[in-house]
Structure 1
């Protein structure tokens, strides 16, 4: 899939499945971002999810899945006033280099997102992992990073210890 142009990228909704999924008060990037978004709705995308360890906390990696594998998250639309600088801030947080896809840890791609109760998928921007999975990656078979963190007693990347 091709990347959205800047104008389209600002207007397309986002699908967040990891550290930016909710407005966590202890996560400064998520807190600032969610001030610029409408409250999201539960949604899912096709794919496989892994958790990656980091000294600053765990973070998820969405990769292509097989068959009916789904990743759980939230579909969020931007409020009026969300602009290119806000998009650039998210891209920087995700290490998504629009002008250097090969050097990016994540790629921001348009993907079909399923929302319960809606017959047709919604196209949204999704940050997909763009590296080989490291050996310490932990599979999350149920596809829900937040539930996995709670069950493990882990801390999300970028949140206060």
Structure 2
């Protein structure tokens, strides 16, 4: 896979959600959105989100942060995300005024597990605050 210029994070890898040493080298970030559906996945270690590009019923703007890929170790992030996600290119709104940027994001690839909850407003951080749930911490 070609190294991307930009990456989009919408969940536990967003700034302020967790402290992940493997994000060293990540470049400048800015608020941005991607079209899709967002679900919260329960885990013994906390909740984490799943971005699905094909759930029309729950489609909304997914809030996150668009970063310059910089020198971040993408293989380490791929390993962290695991087999349920695939890094793929998506259209992101927010980097350039009125423009669209192409970035890679981690997209959920399988069936949603039992206990998955839709996040109607598309913002995992806001959902955590509103529900009082805790983010996956590893």
Q: Please give the TM-score of this superposition, normalised by the length of structure 2.
A: 0.89
Structure 1's unaligned 5+ residue stretches are 96-103
- Aligned pair partner of 2:60 in 28, 49, 69: 69
Q: Secondary structure at the match of 1:18?
A: coil
Q: Is the 8 A contact 2:42 2:48 kept in 1?
A: yes
Unmatched tracts of structure 2, length 5 or more:
none
Is 2:90–2:105's contact at 8 Å kept on the other side of the alignment? yes
In our comparison, the structure showing a higher alpha carbon Rg is 1
Partners of 1:157 and 1:32 lie apart in 2 by 16
Shift of 1:21: 1.1
Give the alignment's Cα RMSD to 1 decimal: 1.9
How many residue pairs match? The answer is: 136
Deviations 1:76-116 (A, max 9, x none): 0133xx16xx1110000001xxxxxxxx2101000000007
Q: Compute the TM-score of the two structures, normalised by the length of structure 1.
A: 0.77
Counterpart CA distance in 1 for 2:10 and 2:27 is 16
Q: Tell me, in whole angstroms, the C-alpha distance in 2 between the residues paired with 1:28 and 1:72.
A: 19
Please identify which structure carries the higher strand content.
Answer: 2
